[in-house]
Amino acid sequence: MPEHPGPTRRRPRATTVEGSLDPLYRQGGDLVVWTDHDEREVDELEDADYVLRPVGRVESPLTDRHTAPKQGDEGAPPARIAFGPEFREAARDLRAGDEILVLTWLHQGARDVLSVHPRGDTSRPIAGVFATRSPDRPNPIGLHAVRIEAVAENGIMVSGLEAIDGTPVLDVKPVLGGIHQR
């Protein structure tokens, strides 16, 4: 497969590959080596730091992450996503009624947490954060499926967004329908 454009990568180290599967499969900049036993070695990226620039911020009556709904369908009030002036062109084709995915930086999340009791319920067994929706995780990126209720020049009103006031918005993407709707 061709290499993906992106950050500079370290040259892959020489690797012995068992089995007949395609030995080199590039995924998101990491070199993944497949073996007969489905074991994977991932060659670390030389530059492990990335710069994310928020495209906007959440404006919401929710101000405390501990009292906010855990998911948008659990009582989240209407909220507004305000786009920075330099990103308004990117939002020009958003329409009321559209369903979108909002990626946020959960800025109050603890980045050193690797396991939690799901939903903070200590009666549930501890789980690795990659198997939960916890805001506490190595890279606290939030993923929110919301509906656009209204569009203004500098932002959108949405329903179903449980992010707290001031949460940085990293990106907005449409929810895709079936192949025939794309």
List pLDDT tens digits, range 125-138: 898 889 988 888 88
- Residue 1's Cβ-count burial label (10 Å; 0-12, 13-18, 19+) is exposed
Range 76-87 average pLDDT: 95
CA torsion sign for 101, 117, 54, 150 is: positive
pLDDT at 145 over 90: yes
CA nearest 136: which of 107, 161, 157, 158? 107
Per-residue DSSP letter, 174: E
Q: Is the pLDDT higher at 60 or at 34?
A: 60
Which residues touch 107 (CB under 8 Å, ≥6 apart)? 140, 166, 167, 168
* Higher local confidence (pLDDT), 114 or 172: 172
pLDDT of residue 42: 55
Is pLDDT at 65 greater than 60 in this prediction? Answer: yes
Domain ranges in the chain are 1-49, 56-181
pLDDT in the model for residue 19: 36
Q: Residue 55 pLDDT more than 90? A: yes
Q: Is the pLDDT score of 10 beyond 80?
A: no
Q: Does domain 56-181 have CATH number 3.30.750.24?
A: no
Output the six-digit token pair for 86: 């330099």
